[in-house]
Amino acid sequence: MDVVEVVPTFEQYAFTFGGVAPLVRIRPGTALRVWSDDAFCGALQKPTDLSSEKVDLRFVNPQTGPFFVEGAEPGDTLALHFVAMEPARDWGASAAIPFFGGLTSTDRTATLQEPLPDTTWIYELDRARNTVTFAARHTDLEIALPVEPMLGTVGVAPPGGEVRSSLVPERFGGNMDTPQMRPGTTCFLGVNVEGALFSIGDGHYRQGEGEACGTAVEGAMTTTLVVELVKGGAPLWPRLEDDTHWMTVGSSRPLEDAWRIGQVELVRWFGELYGLHPMDAYQLLSQITEVPIANVVDANYSTVVKARKSLLPRAAAYGGLHDDLRRRAASLL
């Protein structure tokens, strides 16, 4: 399989979904190897670099793309199968940013509090051990943590000519910040505009569920993926499939509405997969789902609703496309 290499310049980064001209045109079936910058555009490189001094909030969460997929039309389904994610730098950065995060006063949850201290942590990468090292700023503790790469941001252009910030998760995908967006996962997104215009970015070397402080171990990433197109069948919200789970992603505020969206979407998907009446799917999923919180810090919060395949009869989504993409991806590893 031919692989198209894409390494953008800063001038080519996209900071929105929608409103950006295509960076590259590709055909369905194309494999891409894509470099993406970290959420801070590389501005935080040492613990003394502070977000309030170094990070330009006009230029955060840079996306590589958008990619125009030949033949993609509104109502189609874009399938992105993630083959590999490799740290592209020897360090990652995380930060407590003033008035941003899950445990501080924010513009949405306003209180009469001073901001938490503007603080940066640098995680050094050990490629031989495949770890990143947490080094405490106020004590002497250091812990080597496994690298578990993921993408915080995967999405297509929204419908209706909308232009949305790359900080926002919504029906088009976007900044979902779920650790489920990792190698071995296929992401299904509904196409809203001609060409789909999808972008990816916001690489994380690892992230806890919820992304509590608002930032993961943010790092530049080289991502290998295979792009496919299914005519018709567009899901209303992002769907994920890996070898072990069916998953749907809901993004909204408050958090329970994100949960509701994910639950409803999995009920609908089980209607397609198993021919279940909605009430039967509702009952079944009430007994088997797992619901990790993806993020509680973005403009919308995101939850993932998961159903374990081993509990269920065998089923195939989109003609068994995930399994087919897994086979094709093996040639790229």
How big is the CA angle at 219 (ends 43 and 58), to the nearest 5 degrees?
Answer: 45
Any idea which residue has 């789970």 for tokens? 245
pLDDT at site 107 = 85
pLDDT(108) > 90: no
CB 175 within 8 A of CB 202: yes
For residue 103, is pLDDT > 90? yes
Name which of 162, 106, 65 is nearest 299 in CA terms: 106
Decide: 32 and 26 in contact? Cβ < 8 Å.
yes
Q: Which string of DSSP letters, residue by residue, matches 91-102?
A: EEEEEE-TT-ST
Residue whose tokens read 């002497």: 140
* % residues pLDDT > 90 (the chain): 97
3-class DSSP assignment, residue 149: coil
Give residue 137's pLDDT band: very low, low, confident or very high (50, 70, 90): very high
* Helix (H) or strand (E) run with residue 322 in it: helix 321-329
Q: What is the mean pLDDT of residues 194-219?
A: 98
Q: What is the pLDDT of residues 41-79, one digit of tens each?
A: 999 999 999 999 999 989 999 999 999 999 999 999 999
pLDDT confidence tier of residue 195, bands split at 50, 70 and 90? very high
Confidence of residue 326 (pLDDT cuts 50, 70, 90): very high
Query: What values do phi and psi take at 175, rounded to 5?
Result: -85, 65
- pLDDT number for residue 262: 98
Confidence grade of residue 2 (pLDDT, cut at 50, 70, 90): confident
What is the overall mean pLDDT for the chain?
Answer: 97
Res. 304: pLDDT tops 90: yes
pLDDT value, residue 217: 98
> Can you give the pLDDT at residue 24?
98
Q: What number is the average pLDDT over the span 76-85? A: 98
Percent residues over pLDDT 70 in the chain: 100
Task: Give the pLDDT confidence of 250-261 residue by residue, as tens digits.
Answer: 999 999 999 999
* pLDDT tens digits, one per residue of 281-303: 999 999 999 999 999 999 999 99
In degrees and rounded to multiples of 5, residue 53 shows phi and psi of -105, -30
Per-residue confidence (pLDDT) for residue 80, from 0 to 100: 98
pLDDT at 120 over 90: yes
Cβ neighbours around 302 below 10 Å, total? 31
Topology at the third CATH level for domain 239-313 = Endonuclease I-creI (3.10.28)
Which pLDDT value is given to residue 11? 97
Residue closest to 218 by CA, chosen among 232, 236, 238, 201? 201
> pTM of the prediction?
0.97
Domain residue ranges of the chain, discontinuous segments joined by +: 239-313
